[in-house]
């Protein structure tokens, strides 16, 4: 009798979670005002809510399913995505980028690009972000399909429609504010659902002996420069640690959008630092259970790396734990999907429709357009989720998208932020050439004409090539373009003296030093 009750309780957790998310959206709806409040919620939320949403937006389906798959495939080297590929970029975001964003008063990255360059660059970037967001939107749905297939045997389409419909409901009710409050709630559910995995035998240090060669270490045995290896030092340190990491943390629309909801500049720059400590904790929560998954599961080890985490849950959790664990994975799915739906709606409505199609319409009209764009984004996310089936694990798919879109954009963004020489002509040429080179390079890899040790290594090198191309072309083509005056660039180009308006306090420096020290210590321990 007790077993039946436990099963019923486990099954009840999931629908109860869905009800709570919709209620949170309904509550947020009462406070939603105009189009900007619905789409951006700029400078209106308390610090702890913003930190939770910032961390939750990053630690969604990609983190939980994708990085556990990367740990099963690449071993301890999966920690690189958390430590080398996250912490330095998060510190830089808090030190330089957030203060400049908030000081200029921009509500989005495309808006900054228009003020720094011109409307053409803003429009080009907005379309690039829409393309990248659409490609990434289906990740959560694909991950959920893998989870439900392993645990319940549910078909892909039905589970995807259920999750997408729930997300759409609370996004339409409350906009970005509802999305952010749900992200904080989802983060709590994720931690509770995954915490039990830390007590599995797979997380014991002696299980590392079951991992062969370099898969047991972060740096030992990692070749310095070897494109034909699964990973190499140059690709990890430059391709991941600088180009992909800094481009993601400093220019990702979803993350910057959340950081800018902080009420003050000082709170905004604290957001990535506080979230960084949560990021370190998530690395242990997600990676360590998957390191010894093959030895723990034996013949039950799934053929797809993306099914590693749900397989661990299905084989070790009881009914209540399994219900909570499945709810945690659904939370991660909904977090990523909601973030992309909200970003798509904001990009389309604010950066393309309002700026170039209907600049003088009413706020009510833009609000309706934002809700319509949310519906379109949800449908597109279901369609794009099928692309993920063509990759060995989610991280390969995601890093490929970042190498195509984020790396060229980051190069042009650095030109605009740190040089007065860059012009709109150079920015457009840099974006076009960098993205074209990345697409062509990946096409040659897919055709079998270029070879790397793994698709992950290929992603790292393509990111470096695209970044260098965009930077070089952007500088060369800026030589003959019309430059903005010193007065126009005064607050848009970074200079050390600009930091006087928001110099970090001693608490910020202490937290930054502590975060970097812990990151270095973990790299030494797992070297």
DSSP symbols for 220-252: TT--SS-TTSSS-HHIIIIIIIIIIHHHHHHH-
The domain of 293 spans 2-525
pLDDT at 303: 76
| CB-CB contact of 300 with 308 (8 Å) | no
pLDDT at 439: 93
Dihedrals φ, ψ of 45, to 5°?
-120, 150
| CB-CB contact of 311 with 297 (8 Å) | yes
Angle between helices 119-137 and 424-446 (to 10 degrees): 30
The pLDDT confidence band at residue 212, using thresholds 50, 70 and 90, is low
Dihedrals φ, ψ of 451, to 5°?
-130, 135
What span, in angstroms and rounded, lies between the C-alpha atoms of 269 and 273? 7
The pLDDT confidence band at residue 411, using thresholds 50, 70 and 90, is very high
Q: With a cut of 90, say whether residue 517 has pLDDT above it.
A: yes
Rounded to two decimals, the pTM is 0.83
Identify the burial level of 491 via C-beta atoms within 10 angstroms of its C-beta, where 0-12 means exposed, 13-18 middle and 19 or more buried.
middle
What span, in angstroms and rounded, lies between the C-alpha atoms of 342 and 215? 38
Lowest mean pLDDT among 18-32, 159-173, 470-484, 513-527: 18-32
> Positive or negative CA dihedral for 13, 19, 22, 23?
negative
What span, in angstroms and rounded, lies between the C-alpha atoms of 198 and 380? 36
Annotate 304-331 with three-state secondary structure: CHHHHHHHHHHHHCCHHHHHHHHHHHHH
Facing residues of 45 across strands? 262
> Positive or negative CA dihedral for 415, 418, 422, 428?
positive
Q: With a cut of 90, say whether residue 520 has pLDDT above it.
A: yes
Q: Tokens in use for 204?
A: 């014991």
pLDDT at 99: 82
| pLDDT tens sequence across 378-402 | 888 777 777 776 676 678 888 888 8
Helices (H), 46-108: 47-58, 61, 67-74, 87-92, 98-104
| CB-CB contact of 122 with 114 (8 Å) | yes
Mean pLDDT of 115-125: 86
Q: Tokens in use for 165?
A: 């419909």
Beta carbons within 10 angstroms of residue 134's beta carbon: 18
Q: With a cut of 90, say whether residue 35 has pLDDT above it.
A: no
Q: With a cut of 60, say whether residue 104 has pLDDT above it.
A: yes
- Whichever domain contains 398, its CATH number is 1.20.1730.10
Beta carbons within 10 angstroms of residue 276's beta carbon: 28
The pLDDT confidence band at residue 24, using thresholds 50, 70 and 90, is low
Lowest mean pLDDT among 218-227, 354-363, 407-416, 484-493: 484-493
Mean pLDDT of 307-325: 80
The pLDDT confidence band at residue 39, using thresholds 50, 70 and 90, is very low
| CB-CB contact of 331 with 163 (8 Å) | no
Total number of domains in the chain: 1
List the one residue out of 151, 173, 133 whose CA is nearest residue 336: 133
Lowest mean pLDDT among 143-157, 399-413, 422-436: 143-157
pLDDT at 205: 43
| pLDDT tens sequence across 258-302 | 788 788 888 888 999 999 999 998 888 888 888 878 777 878 888
């Amino acid at each position: 009798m007790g077993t039946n009750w436990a099963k019923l309780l486990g099954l009840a957790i999931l629908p109860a979670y869905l009800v709570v998310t919709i209620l949170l959206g309904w509550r947020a709806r009462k406070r939603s005002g105009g189009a900007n409040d619905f789409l951006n919620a700029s400078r209106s939320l308390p610090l702890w809510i913003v930190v939770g949403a910032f961390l939750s937006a990053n630690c969604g389906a990609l983190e939980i399913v994708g990085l556990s798959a990367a740990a099963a495939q690449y071993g301890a080297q999966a920690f690189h995505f958390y430590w080398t590929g996250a912490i330095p970029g998060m510190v830089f975001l808090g030190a330089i980028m957030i203060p400049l964003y908030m000081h200029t008063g921009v509500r989005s990255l495309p808006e900054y690009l228009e003020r720094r360059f011109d409307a053409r660059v803003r429009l080009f970037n907005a379309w690039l972000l829409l393309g990248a967001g659409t490609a990434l939107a289906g990740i959560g749905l694909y991950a959920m399909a893998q989870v439900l297939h392993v645990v319940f045997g549910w078909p892909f389409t039905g589970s995807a429609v259920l999750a997408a419909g729930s997300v759409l409901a609370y996004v339409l009710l409350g906009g970005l504010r509802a999305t952010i409050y749900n992200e904080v709630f989802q983060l709590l559910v994720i931690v509770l659902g995954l915490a039990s995995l830390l007590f599995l035998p797979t997380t014991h240090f002696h299980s590392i002996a079951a991992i062969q060669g370099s898969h047991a270490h972060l740096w030992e045995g990692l070749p310095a420069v070897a494109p034909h290896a699964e990973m190499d030092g140059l690709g990890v340190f430059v391709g991941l640690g600088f180009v992909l990491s800094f481009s993601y943390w400093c220019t990702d629309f979803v993350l910057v959008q959340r950081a800018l909801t902080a009420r003050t500049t000082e709170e905004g720059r604290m957001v990535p630092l506080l979230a960084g400590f949560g990021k370190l904790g998530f690395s242990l929560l997600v990676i360590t259970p998957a390191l010894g998954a093959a030895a723990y599961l034996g013949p039950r080890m799934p053929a797809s790396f993306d099914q590693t985490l749900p397989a661990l849950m299905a084989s070790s959790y009881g009914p209540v734990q399994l219900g909570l664990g499945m709810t945690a994975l659904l939370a991660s799915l909904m977090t990523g999907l909601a973030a992309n739906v909200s970003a798509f709606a904001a990009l389309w409505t604010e950066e393309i429709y309002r700026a170039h199609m209907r600049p003088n319409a009413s706020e009510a009209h833009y609000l309706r357009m934002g809700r319509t764009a949310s519906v379109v984004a949800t449908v597109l996310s279901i369609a794009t989720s099928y692309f993920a089936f063509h990759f060995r694990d989610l991280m390969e798919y995601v890093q490929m998208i970042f190498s195509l879109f984020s790396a060229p954009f980051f190069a042009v963004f650095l030109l605009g932020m740190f040089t007065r020489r860059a012009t709109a002509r150079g920015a457009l040429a840099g974006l076009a050439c960098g993205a074209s080179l990345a697409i062509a390079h990946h096409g040659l890899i897919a055709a079998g004409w270029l070879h790397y040790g793994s698709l992950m290594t290929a992603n790292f090198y393509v990111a470096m090539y695209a970044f260098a191309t965009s930077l070089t072309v952007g500088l060369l083509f800026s030589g003959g373009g019309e430059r903005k005056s010193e007065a126009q660039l005064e607050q848009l180009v970074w200079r050390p003296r600009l930091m006087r308006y928001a110099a970090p306090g001693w608490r910020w420096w202490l937290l930054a030093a502590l975060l970097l020290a812990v990151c270095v210590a973990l790299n030494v321990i797992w070297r």
